[in-house]
Structure 1
């Protein structure tokens, strides 16, 4: 396994269904159940099992209600992981959702995977 073999994105201010529609439009594909195949990557969108029932805490992203997981199906998919996850993050931010990626390549993503963006909004 390489550092590009998995990424989890936690999301708030958008539902699972809205996230699936956004990613279908972004990637030009259709979800089968909870999974969208894009090139050599699989993208799964579901409710975060660790989400808090009493609402979203802005700085507690591990408990945000939507969870996206990306996983390459081949070594080529690993080479496109940064580009794919970056596109997903930027689309979510453009849709006014909060999103933070948790993966081994956060340092290669915009806003360090979103954590710097989150910190910036905390400072405001």
Structure 2
């Protein structure tokens, strides 16, 4: 395994929840330890913040209000996939829109959610 591979980073975009609600939903979904807007599960770190590229229409997921930056640490790839999958499915079950943008979308439920929102 190299220090930089396809599982090192994921950007997850969320629409339909406030930042605080997104943090709480994510913490419950993955059993994470919370430190402000930063969550940790094992060596995986998830920063949940307002998206700097947010637009009012929010038509494209990169412009949705919440962005999660998920960094692997030294977690095994299966744990990264499981963690991101849980966040996506919990967000969808709560009625929120969520899309993961990463190099392993094809290993996530509904290909990271992208097919749900394309025209």
Task: Give the deviation of 1:33 after TM superposition.
Answer: 1.9
1:64 equivalenced with 2:64 (yes/no): yes
TM-score (norm 1): 0.86
Q: How far apart in 1 are the matches of 2:44 and 2:52? A: 23
Q: How far apart in 1 are the matches of 2:20 and 2:33? A: 12
- Structure 1: unaligned runs, 5 residues or longer: none
Give the number of the structure whose residues are more often helix, by fraction.
1
TM-score (norm 2): 0.90
Is this contact kept in 2: 1:43–1:70, CA < 8 A?
yes
Is this contact kept in 1: 2:30–2:41, CA < 8 A?
yes
- Secondary structure in 2 aligned to 1:24? helix
Closer, same or farther in 2 for the Cα pair 1:77/1:46, shift >3 Å?
A: farther
Q: CA RMSD in A?
A: 1.4
Between 1:88-97 and 1:18-27, the stretch displaced more is: 18-27
Is this contact kept in 1: 2:30–2:87, CA < 8 A?
no
- Structure 2: unaligned runs, 5 residues or longer: none
In the alignment, what sits opposite 1:32? 35
Aligned pair count?
Answer: 116
